[in-house]
Structure 1
Amino acid sequence: MRLQIIEEVTGEVSSNPVVSGWIKKDRIRAVTTGYLNSLSDEELIEKSTTDQLAAELAAIIKTELRNSNPPVGSDELEAVLNRVDTDVRMGVANGICAVTVSKGETLDILFGKIDNELKNLADETVDKYSGEVAERVTKRLDRTMAAVPCGLPVMPPHWIFTVNVWTYEIVGKYQTFTVIDNDNEVIPKPYFGHKGQRYVRQEESVYHPFKENEDGSSIAIGENTPIKFQFNGYASTIVGTGPKGVGDKLGDSTEKSVSYDDLIFEIGVNS
């Protein structure tokens, strides 16, 4: 990718008839090469997924042009530098695009692996459901699979989409969960005929309705605990590249809500 970007940027900038009289083609190549060689492979890839690579390289070349003391006024100089900025960005984009197209077969193989992984996750998920729910899940996953292309670059050419898959675990509890049976006929009530039965789940002690201890206090017969739940799943979608992922709040590969660890400890499930 370094070689492709160097040649594309050098060609774009030196083709400008005004700039070609201010700076030699070999100097443009040397400046571009020096900047790209100062980056590690990881830095080059990371900067190429955003606007940072083109912006930094354009700033270096424009500084080089200003230092060449071109025989023009300030307004004309800024107009030329704006054109140079565009030339550099086009050169960087074309260089990355050339690499992407040349590696089309490799990208197809990688996307094939992603497709297989998504299908395996889909099979595992659908196996947990049945009936109408399973049918809805299957249809949604089929639409997701159909939207995944086979390694082609998209416009603009230096931006490449990614297929992201998140696995998630949800744990929680209802502080108070109440069910009311309004058709209940067990508890008579004057005027209305009967009283609706209420079933409540919350953190509280349960006492006998009429039996008492020797000291007159109510007899505890048990503990009522809140309803707790835990389930796992996954989600997949196509997203754009960038320094921060979609829905990413903390920047870590694993993120937790504030009370997650407390609930995990309370419910007693493995995170």
Structure 2
Amino acid sequence: MKLQIIEEVTGEVSSNPVVSDWVKKDRVRAVTAGYLNSLSDEELIEKSTTDQLAAELAAIIKTEIRNARPSAEPDELEAVLNRVDTDVRMGVANGICAVTVSKGETLDILFGKIDGELKNLADETVDKYSGEIADSITKRLDRTMAAVPCGLPVMPPHWIFTVNVWTYEVMGEYEVFTVIDNDNEVIPKPYFGHKGQKHVRTDEAVVHNDVYIGENAPIMFEFDGYSATIVGPGPKGVGDKMGKSTEESVGYNYLLSIFGGNK
């Protein structure tokens, strides 16, 4: 995993043409390798379960950039460093995912073994009981087996860390979205010469000369995907805040009703 993260982080950071002029690719690789090699396997696993690994590595690389004393204005430098933050986080995530993907066959075998063990446990337990108690136990074990793909002890028999996969769906809208054209077609304005044309998207009625024309609807967006990561042992899964396998934000159902009406 260290090797994968080193290469992924080096590639992401060095792909920025501004950063590559300030800090050479070999230096980024050396700094990243030095930090990761200073960690024990246990520390690497523990820090990779949160954003601590990416945050500490990003801080080291940004310090390296500052020490290079680039000829840039403070605002420009801050913007570049923010980009470096993102590059490092992407590199760390890609490095971890690359390891997970490369071990896909092994993971499939382990999933199969765990599924078989749970089924045997269910059979043995039900044999000891009958009636309503057996039905209740069977249902509970079925729910447990259904949740197994969300967590796998990668280093048995001790639960060191877990490979987790989760899906996400994001929906939202811009309360106000404004575009101003200052360079091309303009509107004359006294004293200032001209003002740029402005297009505003917000949720309001459009009225011209006291005549209702229509509705100015806000810009909406929607996307989904999935992600995999490594987390430490614990009662909750990836991203769990309420302890449920499916969780929703406060405004999710409201936005779902809006998007559902538009589909």
TM-score range (shorter-chain normalised) is 0.5 to 0.7
Q: Secondary structure at the match of 2:114?
A: helix
CA distance in 2, matches of 1:142, 1:161: 24
Q: Describe the superposition over 1:227-247 as per-residue Cα deviations: whole angstroms up to 9, x where unpaired.
A: xxxxxxxxxx873399xxx8x
State the shift of 1:92 in Å: 0.4
Structure 1 or 2: larger helix share?
Answer: 2
Q: Describe the superposition over 1:35-58 as per-residue Cα deviations: whole angstroms up to 9, x where unpaired.
A: 111111221122112111111111
CA distance in 1, matches of 2:239, 2:149: 15
State the shift of 1:129 in Å: 2.8
1:62 counterpart residue number: 62
1:35·1:57 contact (CA, 8 Å) conserved in 2?
A: yes
Query: How do 1:154-233 and structure 2 match up within 5 A?
Result: 154=165, 157=227, 159-160=229-230
1:81 counterpart residue number: 81
Q: What TM-score do the two structures reach when normalised by structure 1? A: 0.56
1:5 counterpart residue number: 5
Q: What TM-score do the two structures reach when normalised by structure 2? A: 0.58
Alignment gaps of 5+ in structure 1: 165-236, 247-271
The runs of at least 4 consecutive aligned structure 1 residues that moved more than 4 Å come to 150-153, 155-158, 161-164
CA distance in 2, matches of 1:133, 1:157: 38
CA distance in 1, matches of 2:51, 2:233: 21
Q: Over alpha carbons, which structure has the higher Rg? A: 1
1:19 counterpart residue number: 19
CA distance in 1, matches of 2:23, 2:94: 22
CA distance in 2, matches of 1:241, 1:2: 24
Q: Secondary structure at the match of 2:17?
A: coil
CA distance in 1, matches of 2:105, 2:119: 21
Amino acid at match of 1:12: E
Amino acid at match of 1:18: V
Question: Percent identical across equivalent pairs?
Answer: 79
Shift in alpha-carbon separation, 1:162–1:68, aligned structure 2, 3 A: closer
How many residues align? The count is 171
CA distance in 1, matches of 2:233, 2:29: 35
1:239 counterpart residue number: 237
Alignment gaps of 5+ in structure 2: 153-162, 167-225, 244-263
- The CA RMSD measured in Å over matched residues stands at 2.8
